[in-house]
Structure 1
Amino acid sequence: MLSEASRIHDRAWVTQCALSRICGGCAMSLGRPIAFLGTPDEVARNAFHLPPMHLACAQELASGPGADPSWALVTTAGFEFVRPAKEDVDREPRFEPNSLL
């Protein structure tokens, strides 16, 4: 599963997951549903910074040591990968689910 939890915050890894459509937890190809973990603010904005994951990988990360109890799990059938523009307030790459389940 996740060899290093910190890797899911690495910008290069996040981008690779997006472009290759692989799970941020196990690096295997994504199917459906796709799961995102995020803060209450990310859920409200529908914009997540952690990479997409299999549902089981996201559940494992959410319940593992060091997990933030405020994280919410959102499932979707698809997402858009947004690379920030210079004028964006949020300078991190993000994922915007487009078909919430």
Structure 2
Amino acid sequence: MTVDRDARSTVPLPADLADRPTDPRRGVPVPFVSDAEDGTVEIGRVVKKRAIRCALSRICGLCGISLEWGVTFVGSAEEAEANAFHYPPLHRGCAEAALRLYPALGEPVLGQPARVDTWALVVTGGFELERPASRQGDQRVAFHANAVSEDLRLPG
């Protein structure tokens, strides 16, 4: 399956991501981590329960299918520098498709509070999950990559 982004190009999708429900307004797959239990969908949000499930069950935050060895994180360059990603782990193919597809929507996506100028794509052998320590401050979960094998910066 491919998705028309803007009538000038299409983005090839991995089969598991192509099988996800499509956001009718934007014409893109709804990320697994954006589905709320009440059925509401906000394409850019990360549902905390889903993010934790992705980490503990080692499933992709986009397609919802089990991850193999070597997981990929996407986020802002600032998240990569801090080694604290707020979007759950992904398959490499899902991550690459996501960075070609979602930023083109022109809105905050992939768990970011604002549009991102420079994206980071980090491939790692493992990660640590950090849950908020208190009910004060940032309530997002964070993912800390370890054993990084690839670290790329891509324009937003």
The bucket for the TM-score relative to the shorter chain is 0.7 to 0.9
TM-superposed CA distance for 1:91, in Å, is 2.6
Give the helix-richer structure, 1 or 2.
Answer: 1
What percentage of residue pairs aligned between the two structures are identical?
37
1:44-83 to structure 2, matched below 5 A, reads 44-64=81-101, 65-66=104-105, 68=116, 70-83=118-131
The corresponding residue for 1:93 is 141
Q: 2-side partners of 1:88 and 1:59: how far apart?
A: 34
User: Given residue 72 of structure 1, which amino acid in structure 2 is its aligned partner?
Assistant: A
Q: 1-side partners of 2:139 and 2:82: how far apart?
A: 15
Give the strand-richer structure, 1 or 2.
Answer: 2
Structure scoring higher RCO (CA < 8 A, sep ≥ 6) equals 1
Aligned length: 101
Q: Which runs of 5+ in 1 are unaligned?
A: none
1:4 to 2:30 alignment: yes
TM-superposed CA distance for 1:89, in Å, is 4.7
TM-superposed CA distance for 1:88, in Å, is 7.0
Residues 6-55 of structure 1: CA distance to partner in whole angstroms, max 9, x if unpaired?
71622121111011110111111111220000101100000100010000
Q: 1-side partners of 2:138 and 2:77: how far apart?
A: 16
Q: SS state of the match for residue 99, structure 1?
A: strand
Please report the RMSD computed on the Cα atoms of aligned residues, expressed in angstroms. Answer: 2.0
Q: Which runs of 5+ in 2 are unaligned?
A: 1-16, 21-28, 35-44, 110-115, 150-156
Query: TM-score normalised to the size of structure 2?
Result: 0.58
